[in-house]
A and B are shown apart, each in its own frame.
Chain A
Amino acid sequence: MGVAEQAISFVSANRKALRFLALFALAFGVCYFVFGIAPGVRRGLIKPYTELLAKAVAAIINLFGAGATADGTIVGSPEFSVNIAMGCDGVEASSLFLAGVLAFPTTRRAKLLGLAIGVPLIQVINLARLVGLYYAGLIVPSAIEGIHVYVAQTVVILLSTAILIVWLERFAIRAGKT
């Protein structure tokens, strides 16, 4: 069998999977561009949201006596300060979930339910990551860059993947069958 025939056979055998993956990549790209790059949305929506996140982080760590204040996107305390910059706002993780939900062929009700529960849950996980990063910087300042870049981001993405798969299993596939 020639390469062209093999490619045609592969496409026809995996049409649904290819459609899902193409829609997933497209939806992720669009979501990431809109929420992560487009200057208007970053200024008008993401920056105020990030400032709100900074206030939430300060409020949580103050429960444990940190004495922190939020100034814009910076959470500062006498011991340590963190700036909630691009990439720390949970846009990637939410875009991943959003893309998976939008791309999967299921009912509109299942999609709305997934978005209503999944996106806030991912934002709560991201908030926990920011609080965790503050304490990581306080306790092991020498390792904060590695924890920030490699560990925290990946953990949030993998947990978002778990939420996506639980949604697929419990809601999307069942709803699609009925």
Chain B
Amino acid sequence: MPFEPGKHKWLRLVLLAIGLYLIFIPVWLLTLNAIAWFAATVAQWIYLLLDPLISIKANGNTVDVVVMASAQSGFGGQVYSQPLRVDTVTYGLPVIAALVLVTRADSTRAKLRALAIGMIVMLVTSVPAVMMWAKLTSLQLEEQLARAAMSTSGDRSSFFYYAFHGYAFSQPVIAVAVWLALLMFGLFKDKKKQPLSQAIARNVPCPCGSGRKYKRCCGRA
């Protein structure tokens, strides 16, 4: 298993990560508008393919989901909207930043690469959260219309309610999982350059262009 916990004093580093996380919270709060714009824009692109009656727009640090009832429902034009606070689904971002920064890496470059990949993954996970919220909003409208029409109403929205809140509550868990993945895929390590003698077969023409075999030219012991 490519996991070497023995190189760290973990309890001390986790306490340091908690401290760093608290420092990063104000920085993350300042970026919420941009995160909301990104998540809303991507979620809207995807949702246009699935359900054009749903509109997803960023509004400051919230994402407004507006659902319009279809003409077939008998309530055509009725609109239902719910804002989503983006902070509740992205607080894993400062967690991953803190965890990556306290983890020992072979070089600053390796650490920055791990940080960038971790942040991108966490940012991307905000999109399904917004889409889940949009689905929840749409189901709640359906249930309201079903109640208004006195027809039987299912309780499908409650599953999405728990799934969404589970996702939101689990932001630090997602960050920990991403961090474990970064550790296990060796992203804190430098990609060591393979020595030329190992990379080139001995009997092939030498890459220096001499026309001789590699073993009789640059690869001579």
Residues on A facing B (Cβ under 8 Å) = 14, 16-17, 20-21, 24-25, 28, 32, 36-37, 86-87, 92, 95-96, 104-105, 149-151, 153-155, 157-159, 161-162, 165-166, 168-169, 173, 176
Contact = CB atoms under 8 A, between A and B. Distances in A.
B166 to A, nearest CB: 6
Contacts, number: 92
Given A96-B176, A157-B173, A169-B10, 14 more contacts: A17-B185, A28-B170, A36-B166, A37-B162, A92-B170, A96-B173, A149-B91, A154-B95, A157-B95, A157-B176, A158-B14, A158-B95, A162-B14, A169-B6
Contacts of B14: 158-159, 161-162, 165
Interface residues of B, number: 33
Contacts of B159: 37
Contacts of A153: 169, 172
B215 to A, nearest CB: 25
A132 B184 CA distance: 34
B188 to A, nearest CB: 13
B139 to A, nearest CB: 16
A158 B18 CA distance: 7
Given A32-B170, A162-B14, A17 B88 contact: no
Nearest to B25: A150
7 contacts: A17-B1, A17-B181, A37-B162, A92-B169, A154-B91, A158-B17, A173-B3
Main secondary structure of the interface of B (DSSP, over half): helix
Interface string B23-40: 001000000000000000
A173 B5 contact: yes
Contact of B1 (A105, A151, A154): A105
A27 to B, nearest CB: 11
B120 interface: no
B1 A87 contact: no
B2 interface: yes
